[in-house]
A = this chain, B = another copy of it.
């Protein structure tokens, strides 16, 4: 019933790759996601398929099974709860927590995680705005739109980020662009796809298309 640290990492990564595509996930994608070689990924794919976490058709890629999704969602639940704990309780900045949570997500105890969940007030989202699966593996998927797709005049709330890197998160801090901010697109520059925004109705900001692609917005 126990999975190795490595198996948990593979299933989490494959789950996330599956989220991004409708068709099967490839060996190369998996290898890239885990910074390993295709042959290593292939070995693990065979093992995971044997354990019924994946369906694997040779040369055709893989698909998660329900059993696999369950494990992956549990790892993601642990990761995101710990991330929130690190930010909310220990005062880390949201760009500092990923590496630590990567380790903590492998501490196995349902009792622990459910108590942590309770302690944090049964949160629905982590500090990056990503949804936290509940104890049954249910995950709340909001219909979020990248800021770059908003039309002139449209407004919404910053709800999550795509890029979790230090650099991006520092940029957001610097410009006071936090999760929860209300935005409105004042103008679109069609030449470079940059945007003029109003933030919380009291300031304006000009952002590049790169930034706009990495902010996910909830439309009211």
Bound-complex Cα distance A120 to B116 (A): 16
Who on chain B is nearest to A86 by CB?
Answer: B112
Query: How many copies of the shown chain assemble into the complex?
Result: 2
Interface size class of A (residues with CB under 8 A): 10 to 19
| A162 located at the interface, meaning its Cβ lies under 8 Å from any Cβ of chain B in the complex | no
Q: For window 46-95 of chain A, which residues contact chain B by CB distance below 8 Å?
A: 86, 89-92
Which of these, B86, B100, B103, B116, contacts A90 with CB under 8 Å?
Answer: B116
| A107 interfacial contact with B, CB 8 Å | yes
Indicate with 1 or 0, residue by residue over A108-137, a CB within 8 angstroms of chain B CB atoms: 110110011001000000000000000000
Q: Which B residues touch A112, using CB under 8 A?
A: 86, 90, 100
Question: Could you name 6 residue pairs across A and B whose Cβ atoms are closer than 8 Å?
Answer: A86-B112, A91-B115, A103-B106, A103-B109, A104-B104, A107-B107
